[in-house]
């Protein structure tokens, strides 16, 4: 399976575009009086992980001021717009968060970030990362970012008490079962069957329903050039998506993923489909986390129909061209790429390390499951489109626009038509 996934990765990362004006290089040096690190990790849960890495950075670099330039908004909805305008105006931060895969490729092709090959050599990093991940951050033979983690997108979080009240013996394992379970929760408990937040959480749900209904190979094929989104199988998945949406709370821009996920552990909603950053939020101690207990307050399962497949994404940090504090940026990348940095960051973030040599004993409960699944021989991999692996920024926006219209008109045929068009315009 890894081979077929790699083929997809190669499609995502090959292309004829030359990188113009790609000078620079990572020859070290530069102003290290401070470092401005740009991300979207402001909220409860994810900010804890960043803080842990910041503290490690400050310990190792007492003379460098750490400036946390995080901008709120789950999955980077606001941050990415601000970042785009800063890069456009040539006012980059010293390092910014970008997803491995198609999203990173956009920055590379636009000539906005520098290759990090000598940094990788100096820090012996090539051997530290899995080959398939290196392929997602390499373009035309050069490596462009430092991955800190692997997140899993396809997780179903659920409230065991509500499932029991609904007469369900366990979590649903297919999309059809899921719809039956949502109906049972609605009819028997009066609780919210599936919690949802801002619009992007519907995009996140969509990738999970596509994967669950189509299966891994057909989902992966959707992101290849010439892919056909007009098939009856896609119609069926979108029809199921529409049906599932009937059991959600109304889309509320004011509630981000934290509000939607929290509804499950608070006993207000039965299910939430969210990436495993929700786990960090659930279990980290208060006041930042919710201090909840796995198995008592919540449980997890692969999102329906996706057992055996890891729908993955990876946060990585970059060295922008003309970073004002290049020395500070390289010192930050050193912490972000280190075993110590990743082992401090990931248990709090709710992710597993991108490096292969992490201390496994630090990853407990859900994270132990994630760790084992990711490293299982023969695990099937699928890239998250919403979190930057398969869709570049334009495609991502086009899908979001289509989903936004669907939330208004509930018209499956129009949604499919828009997704067919988005694939035609953007698959490369
Ligand atoms: C993802 C990101 C995660 C987490 C999540 C929710 O795009 O990769 O690290 O921050 O958004 O904000």
Q: Are residues 50 and 63 in the same domain?
A: yes
Q: How far is the CA of 275 from the centre of ligand 1 (A)?
A: 8
**Cα gap 112→137, rounded to integer Å:** 14
Q: Are residues 300 and 407 in the same domain?
A: yes
Q: Are residues 94 and 210 in the same domain?
A: no
Q: Are residues 270 and 300 in the same domain?
A: yes
Q: How far is the CA of 398 from the centre of ligand 1 (A)?
A: 20
421 is a domain residue: yes
User: What pLDDT does residue 178 have?
Assistant: 99
Residue nearest to atom 11 of ligand 1 (CA): 75
Q: Are residues 256 and 290 in the same domain?
A: yes
**pTM to 2 decimal places:** 0.93
5 is a domain residue: no
Q: How far is the CA of 231 from the centre of ligand 1 (A)?
A: 31
Contact assessment for residue 307 and residue 174, using Cβ atoms and an 8 Å cutoff: no
45 is a domain residue: yes
Q: Diameter of the chain by CA atoms?
A: 64
Q: Are residues 48 and 183 in the same domain?
A: no
How many domains, in total, are found in the chain? 2
pLDDT confidence bin for 251, thresholds 50/70/90:
low
261 is a domain residue: yes
Which atom of ligand 1 sits closest to the CA of residue 315? 8
Q: Are residues 100 and 199 in the same domain?
A: no
- Residue list, ligand 1 pocket, CB within 6 Å: 40-41, 46, 74-76, 99, 151, 257, 275, 277, 313, 315, 387
pLDDT (tens digit, 9 = 90+) per residue, 325-381?
Answer: 999 999 999 999 999 999 999 999 999 999 999 999 999 999 999 999 999 999 999
In the three-class reduction of DSSP (H, G, I as helix; E, B as strand; rest coil), residue 427 is classed as: coil
Q: Are residues 376 and 397 in the same domain?
A: no
Q: Are residues 268 and 372 in the same domain?
A: no
For residue 172, pLDDT over 80 is answered with yes
pLDDT (tens digit, 9 = 90+) per residue, 74-110?
Answer: 999 999 999 999 999 999 999 999 999 999 999 999 9
Which atom of ligand 1 sits closest to the CA of residue 388? 7
Q: What is the CATH number of the domain that holds 417?
A: 3.40.190.10
Q: Are residues 226 and 177 in the same domain?
A: yes
Residue nearest to atom 3 of ligand 1 (CA): 75
Q: How far is the CA of 188 from the centre of ligand 1 (A)?
A: 34
pLDDT (tens digit, 9 = 90+) per residue, 34-82?
Answer: 999 999 999 888 999 999 999 999 999 999 999 999 999 999 999 999 9
Percent of the chain with pLDDT over 70: 93
2 is a domain residue: no
Counted residue by residue, the chain has a size of: 428
* DSSP states of 329-365: HHHHHHHHHSHHHHHHHHHHHT-EESSTT--GGG--T
**Residue ranges making up the domain that contains 49:** 22-150+315-383
Contact assessment for residue 351 and residue 276, using Cβ atoms and an 8 Å cutoff: yes
DSSP 8-state class, residue 40: S
Name the residue of 70, 151, 273, 350 whose CB sits within 8 Å of the most ligand 1 atoms, as the mutation to test its pocket.
Answer: 151
Residue with tokens 């101690």: 285
Both tokens of residue 199?
């619009």
7 is a domain residue: no
78 is a domain residue: yes
17 is a domain residue: no
For residue 1, pLDDT over 50 is answered with no
Q: Are residues 329 and 303 in the same domain?
A: no
Q: Are residues 369 and 400 in the same domain?
A: no
């Amino acid at each position: 399976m890894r081979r077929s996934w790699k083929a997809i990765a190669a499609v995502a990362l090959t292309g004829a575009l030359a990188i113009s004006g790609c000078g620079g290089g990572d020859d070290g040096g530069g102003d290290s009086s401070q470092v401005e690190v740009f991300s979207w990790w402001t909220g409860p849960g994810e900010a804890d992980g960043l803080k842990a890495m910041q503290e490690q950075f400050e310990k190792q670099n007492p003379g460098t001021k750490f400036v946390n330039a995080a901008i709120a908004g789950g999955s980077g909805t606001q941050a990415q717009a601000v970042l785009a305008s800063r890069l456009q105006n040539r006012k980059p931060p010293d390092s910014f968060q970008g997803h491995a895969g198609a999203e990173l490729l956009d920055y590379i092709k636009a000539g906005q970030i520098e290759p990090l090959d000598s940094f990788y050599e100096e820090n012996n990093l090539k051997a530290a990362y899995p080959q398939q991940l290196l392929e997602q951050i390499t373009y035309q033979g050069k490596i462009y970012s430092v991955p800190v983690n692997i997140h899993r997108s396809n997780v179903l979080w659920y409230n065991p008490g509500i499932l029991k009240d609904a007469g369900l013996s366990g979590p649903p394992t297919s999309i059809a079962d899921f719809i039956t379970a949502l109906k049972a929760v609605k009819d028997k408990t009066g609780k919210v069957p599936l919690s949802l937040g801002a619009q992007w959480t519907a995009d996140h749900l969509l990738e999970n329903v596509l994967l669950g209904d189509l299966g891994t190979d057909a989902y992966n094929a959707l992101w290849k050039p010439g892919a056909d989104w007009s098939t009856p199988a896609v119609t069926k998945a979108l029809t199921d998506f529409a049906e599932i949406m009937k059991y959600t709370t109304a889309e509320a821009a004011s509630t981000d993923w934290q509000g939607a996920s929290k509804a499950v552990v608070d006993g207000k909603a039965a299910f939430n489909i969210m990436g495993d950053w929700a786990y960090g939020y659930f279990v980290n101690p208060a006041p930042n986390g919710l201090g909840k207990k796995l198995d008592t307050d919540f449980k997890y399962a692969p999102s329906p129909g996706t057992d055996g497949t890891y729908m993955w994404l990876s946060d990585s940090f970059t060295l922008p061209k003309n970073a004002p504090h290049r020395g500070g940026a390289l010192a930050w990348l050193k912490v972000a790429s280190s075993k110590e940095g990743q082992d401090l960051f990931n248990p709090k973030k709710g992710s597993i390390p991108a490096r292969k040599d992490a201390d496994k004993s630090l990853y407990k409960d859900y994270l132990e499951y994630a760790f084992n699944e990711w490293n299982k021989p023969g695990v099937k991999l699928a890239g998250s489109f919403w979190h930057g692996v398969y869709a570049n920024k334009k495609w991502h926006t086009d899908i979001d626009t289509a989903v936004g219209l669907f939330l208004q008109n509930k018209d499956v045929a129009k949604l499919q038509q828009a997704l067919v068009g988005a694939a035609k315009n953007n698959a490369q």
